[in-house]
Amino acid sequence: RLKDLEVAELGDSDVRVQMLAAPINPADINMIQGTYAILSPLPAVGGNEGVGEVLEVGRHVAALKPGDWVIPAGAGLGTWRTQGVFPEETLLKVPSDIPVLCAATLSVNPCTAYRMLADFETLAPGDSVIQNAANSGVGQAVIQIAKASGIKTINVVRDRPDLPKLVERLMALGADHVITEEMLRKPEMKDIFKSIPKPRLALNCVGGKSTTEMLRHLQPKGTMVTYGGMAKQPVMVPVSAFIFRDVRLRGFWMTQWRKDHAQDQESLTSMMDALCQLVRRGQLTAPACTEVPLQDYKAALEATMKPFTSSKQILLL
């Protein structure tokens, strides 16, 4: 529920932030349901992502000043609020010359897309990637980051009533091919590989049958990275894929990457810089968004949980 709380006292190493905008992501819902791998101690404020403006800093804070824009450095900050006081190390400064919705959606999906494209296979211009849930926040970021690097994308979506509209939107973002899960099983898939090579990397956010079908099109010694399980079904792999094609199955979780690189500020900074540059050049946009005032949070949560959602709910704070 929506509650009025006292804002905490500002400590020497704290920062008082006016939140500007915060999205509702599937992981936020899972945390509320108690099914996510990390859970905030209760009572808790929801929201793992968002952007805010610094209002005031404690006397030991050196890296931030009033007027700066900040995003969460990790999960569990509780961004669905108008104001908060946070320790300096829980915040990352971002440029304030990028659109507010891009900044609000920067720390989870584009970072996940960036790392999966960079960390598992060495991809060169002309190579291809196949992904399911291509209309998700990560999917849209994968299309745009790949396009900026000259990498081709084959994008799998579920069949739906407004399919032509969705295909058009993903193509406008830079998708090379958009196909339905049913098409993965059809002989016409061969036509796609007349113009582009078979993918060395597959990105899986669904699980179940469509993932097994997607795996068929991976090059020998290729890698499939699982970062979500929207179908709530296991990943099934034919034995032949392991023996005769030596495919690799890996997993990725952005929260874990941040923990593993906590001492490695350089890799975090270079990733954020690269993403902000893409935003500035117009090569990376925010996902399709519906802006919702905080008091309408119930409608926003319900909309997020509807099937075939193609628009991310963003709370305006």
Amino acid letter, 180: T
Residue 233, SS3? coil
Rounded Cα distance between 283 and 277, Å, is 9
Q: Under a CB-based contact definition with an 8 Å cutoff, are residues 106 and 29 in contact?
A: no
Residues 6+ apart with CB under 8 A from 127: 151, 152, 197, 199, 200
Active-site residues: which are they? 36
On the CB side of 119, CA atoms within 13 Å amount to 16
Four-point Cα dihedral 190, 196, 197, 198, nearest 10: -50
User: How many Å from the N-terminal Cα to the C-terminal Cα in the chain?
Assistant: 15
Rounded Cα distance between 107 and 92, Å, is 9
Rounded Cα distance between 296 and 282, Å, is 31
Compute the Cα dihedral for 203, 205, 208, 209 and give only its sign: negative
Q: How far is CA 16 from the centre of its chain?
A: 26
Rounded Cα distance between 52 and 67, Å, is 9
